[in-house]
Amino acid sequence: MSLVPTDLWDGFADLLYGMTNLYGPLATNRFFFDLGADEARWVTRRIEPGPEVEVTVLLLKDMMTSPDLPDSAGEVMWRSRRPRTAFAHAAMNAAQAVLDEYGEDGYLRLCCHPFPTNALLDLRRLHRRLDACAACHRT
């Protein structure tokens, strides 16, 4: 799967906040990446009683109309079911790696959006407090 988002939307922040929503009250959450003409919609669904989460990436044609379309209108590009801690840990580490490599100033120059520091801090706090993560944490 290769989907390349534009930089018009702050998709990286949406991704991190989407991961923090895994800890929220709603069983299903959505966020999207603007691919220019098309939409890549991420749908996260908590599998009750947990701890697993299903993440589905849908491709919907025509970004001008797709936000009003139901998930069933999209083509499944990727789907995975894993414990919440696995998704959260991976997203948190990816964000930290970006921050380590570019810093906040470099990220702003490269992506034209501020680095989503608050989203990373929220995700880290929730992950450490609520997940029994056995992986190594360096931050």
Residues forming contacts to Zn ion in the complex (CB under 5 A) are 89, 133, 135
**In whole angstroms, what is the distance from residue 8 CA to residue 128 CA?**
32
Residue 100: beta bridge partners?
A: none
Q: Three-state DSSP class for 43?
A: strand
Shorter beta-carbon distance to Zn ion: residue 73 or 135? 135
Considering beta carbons, is residue 14 or 131 the nearer one to Zn ion?
131
Q: Shortest Cβ distance from residue 3 to Zn ion (Å)?
A: 26
- For the CB of residue 45, give the shortest distance to Zn ion in the complex, in Å: 21
Torsion of CA 38, 44, 45, 46, to 10 degrees: 180
Residue facing Zn ion at closest CB distance: 133
